[in-house]
Amino acid sequence: MKHSNSSAAFSHSPFQALTLSSEGAIALNLPENPAKEEAKATTPAAPALKVRTVRRPQALIKKQPVRVGSTVKITIAPETTGTESIAKASSTAPDTAAKVTTTTAPSTPAKVTAVPVKAAPALPAIFGQMKTAQQSRTSVSGVVTQVVDDGKGRIFGVRVKLENSEVLAFAPFSRLGLAITEVHGLLNTTQAFKVIEVDESKGAIVFNRQAACSEQRLDRLIELVKVGQVLKGKVRNIAECGAFVEITGTGASGLIHISKLPGESLESVKKGEEVKVIVVKVNKAKHQLGLALALPEVE
């Protein structure tokens, strides 16, 4: 029995599946288009592409910076529902000073409350008078109203009420020219003082009673002495300009200028030394008494 060539055809023919009929026969289910199926089987499948969703770019809003010195106009539109107002700002040329213009709805007028501005209190005119007295070195008078102490015997100074003023000045104890036991004797008396400090910011005025008293004693001495008169005294202080000599029995002092000292030397006299002086200058306007060392008497 010869074999037919159908087996070769069977082996090379593409098929999808075998079907068993009701009669026991085996049938082949051939594709409708074998060439198309063969090409489909031989063609490699294309790789699946990944789809990437790209968000649509949003338009960028560039904020305009507001420069210092530019003019800014702000318009406020108030909402009727009570929500926050929306403000729009636009900048203009930077060469003008910054200004803010606010526009509101006329239906809701803003309530304006006037706040009075409290003016700074004017300083009493007495401070100007005290400055003038300090510069001109003139004396002022006032009533001693209080002794300032610590309650344990230590005295700091006195309070002085100025004439025609409620301002109280202060004279420290070191500038009173008195002993501790003599300070309370100044209460309720009118005294002369020199102004040594005026501070408007603190409302403080500082007096020197000792300098005013020395000037008063010197004025009385100037009225009594004459140029060429010889007086006795004691050297109280030595300064660069010369030596100050207190005239005995007066409490007033005159100056021996350095040009009037022997050899124009400050070493020619000593502090506390008893000397004889001669009056060489009297100046009532400037309250000055000029002295010179008297020549020793020749026997």
What is the distance, to the nearest Å, from the Cα of residue 57 to the centroid of all Cα atoms in its chain? Answer: 53
Read off the pTM: 0.51
Any idea what the CATH number is for the domain that residue 196 is in? 2.40.50.140
Per-residue confidence (pLDDT) for residue 233, from 0 to 100 = 93
Question: Tell me: the pLDDT tens digits for 188-217?
Answer: 999 999 999 999 888 899 999 999 998 999
pLDDT of amino acid 201: 87
Domain membership of residue 162 as a residue range: 125-209
Place of tokens 């000037």: 215
Give a yes or no: residue 113 inside a domain. Answer: no
Residue 197 within any structural domain of the chain? yes
Residue 41 in domain: no
38: Cβ–Cβ under 8 A, 6 or more apart, which residues? 14
CA distance readout (Å), 179 to 186, 216, 218, 225, 229: 12, 19, 21, 29, 33
Residue 200's pLDDT is what? 87
Give me the residue label for tokens 């030595």: 238
Any domain includes 80: no
Q: Does residue 153 sit in the same domain as residue 191?
A: yes
* Same structural domain, 165 and 195: yes
| Higher-pLDDT residue of 280, 285 | 280
Report pLDDT for 121: 47
Q: Which residues contact 6 (CB under 8 A, 6 or more apart)?
A: none
Determine the pLDDT at residue 51.
54
168 lies in the same domain as 239: no
Q: Is residue 114 part of a domain?
A: no
Number of domains in the chain: 3
Q: Is there a domain that residue 235 lies in?
A: yes
> For position 69, what pLDDT does the model report?
53
- The yes-or-no verdict on residue 7 having pLDDT over 80 is no
pLDDT at res. 48: 57
Report pLDDT digits (tens) over 89-124.
444 444 444 444 455 555 555 565 555 544 444 456
The answer on pLDDT for 76 being more than 90 is: no
Q: If you count them, how many residues does the chain have?
A: 299
Q: Is the pLDDT of residue 32 over 80?
A: no
Assess if residue 256 is contained within a domain. yes
For 242-256, b where at least 16 C-beta lie within 10 A, e where not — what string? bbbbbbeebebbbbb
11: left (phi over 0), alpha (psi -120 to 50) or beta: alpha
Percent pLDDT > 90 in the chain is 39
Tell me how crowded residue 262 is: count the other CB atoms within 10 A of its CB. Answer: 9
